[in-house]
Amino acid sequence: MLLTLSLTIQAYSQEAENQRIKQYLNNPNNKNLLKVDGIQLFSTEVLPRFYEKINYQPVWRDTTLVMEAGQILAQSWREGLDPQDYHLEALKELVDSQDPEKKAAFDIILTDAMLMYSSHLYYGKVNPKTLNPAWNYDKKSLSGDPVSLMEKAMESQDLKGVLKNLEPKIGQYALLKKALLKYSLMDDMGGWKSLPSSLVVKPETKGEKVKLLVERLESEGYLEMGYESDSVDDTLLNSIKYFQKDHGLDADGVVGKATVRAMNIPVSFRLDQIKANMERSRWVNTEKGFDDFLVVNIPSFSLYYLRDDTVNWTTRVVVGKKYTMTPVFQAEMKYVEFNPTWTLPRSIATKEVLPKLKRDPNYLKNRNMVLLTHSGKEVDQNSINWQDYNARNFPFIIRQEPGTHNALGRVKFIFPNPYSVYLHDTPSKTLFLRSTRAFSHGCVRVQDPIMLALLILMEDQQMTQEQINKILDTDMTKRVYLKSELPVMMMYWTVLASGNQVFFFNDIYGRDTKLVKALSASPFRK
């Protein structure tokens, strides 16, 4: 009799819970802004569909599964996300309630938290187009709709495994996760003290200044704890150079204003940088891995040739200035062009070249440039009175012919994109010696383009260095189309990681601050 009564009460309680779930999700007052027990929900479209499909049954009956979900959400900081976004306080208040209404609320809120976390893990918390309307990476939709994904997670009883598959496949993401943990531990230990802004340490420096520097380098792992020295020995000098290299500075071993400025950036700021770049990794479409691909990382002024997600070769690059930024996008390289001509963009022709022509009518001839009509017919430059033209009525096209002084150098790499951006050689090699290399109009100049061409074409069609040299020696323009298109990713990472090393770069286009602010904001759309 008691057992029958107990089962009846249990069935009634479950039915009441089912009904309350249905009422919560079908409440007409919740149509535009779904709330449960005063908590605003994220998955306003998916939640009702999910529960309708399972006839409004509660899904979090298994205590072990509830504990696993709670641990996952509490540990979401390891993914560079904020655990407080996932209703943790509300869930703690509701978890032990036996009231059917509260149990229904708990079930819905936990489901919403897991759906929100899944979305953030796969797509990112921040929509990149809200920060940059010209964002050009298209992220593939999840394989299967979110309802199916949630069902799979519940049926498999393996929440961690299902969620692990949502993490970005790009290798940098896993490395940045390790970096986040490393710097979080430093933060727990109190970070590091700021150095005097006027501090200067040279190889011959001795005394208290050196001791301050040693303490700072110890705190970030550049020296072993307990290291003692009041002079700059070889160990300390190498540590200084490693720090400078890892922070995009000239590794000269002299601690001056730039190095002190980098050392005085607090660990909390470094953590925010790492989180911002983990978010950027989530924005990138890596559903399908690439065998070979190129990455240009704008803030590090570097190009990387990757094979099987491992850097095979790297070279320095020059990128766009702050007012002519190199855009972020992904495209496929179609061909390599040797001995290219350069058709000047109209903006350069009218704003930069035309004023020079007015002062020196031989400006074009001295730079191996020809004047053309829009139909391609060459115009006699001596017949032109440049004073008659301005930026509005300029009717010509200017083209620079192939040669060692061509602005594009001896080779360019074409991957069609909406921005007309490409990789190319340059006759101005001295800029590659600088640590900061943002000087172009948006295209990317490559320090060692001939080696890049060889790597690409040797892999694509077994072309040799000798064959490339023969083409270059002709001074004739020649396109070599790739048999297999090569993915090119133009990225903006202010933090990169390799093994146990973490590299920080200047935010040259000022994008980190907005992203960090967006990551810290509420995830709920108003």
By annotation, the residues acting in catalysis are 424, 443
Indicate if the alpha-carbon torsion angle 390, 392, 396, 397 is positive or negative.
Answer: positive
Helix (H) or strand (E) holding 346: helix 346-348
HEC profile for 5-27? HHHHHHHHHHHHHHHHHHHHHCC
Q: List C-alpha distances in Å: 470 to 24, 152, 405, 473.
A: 75, 59, 19, 5
The end-to-end CA distance of the chain, in Å, is: 53
HEC profile for 444-488? EEECCHHHHHHHHHHHHHCCCHHHHHHHHHHCCCEEEEEEEEEEE
* Spatial CB neighbours of 495, under 8 Å, sequence gap ≥ 6: 176, 179, 273, 274, 276, 277, 502, 503, 504, 505
Strand pairing class (495-498; 501-504): antiparallel
Q: For 495, phi and psi rounded to 5 degrees? A: -135, 135
Q: For 159, phi and psi rounded to 5 degrees? A: -60, -45
Compute CA 30 distance to the chain's CA centroid, rounded to the nearest angstrom: 37
What's the CA gap between 184 and 188, in Å, rounded?
6
* Spatial CB neighbours of 504, under 8 Å, sequence gap ≥ 6: 246, 247, 248, 262, 270, 273, 494, 495
395: tokens are 């009717």
What's the CA gap between 220 and 240, in Å, rounded?
12
Q: Which residue has the tokens 């040279």?
A: 202
Q: Which residue has the tokens 């001056």?
A: 256
HEC profile for 148-213? HHHHHHHHHCCHHHHHHCCCCCCHHHHHHHHHHHHHHHHHHCCCCCCCCCCCCECCCCECHHHHHH
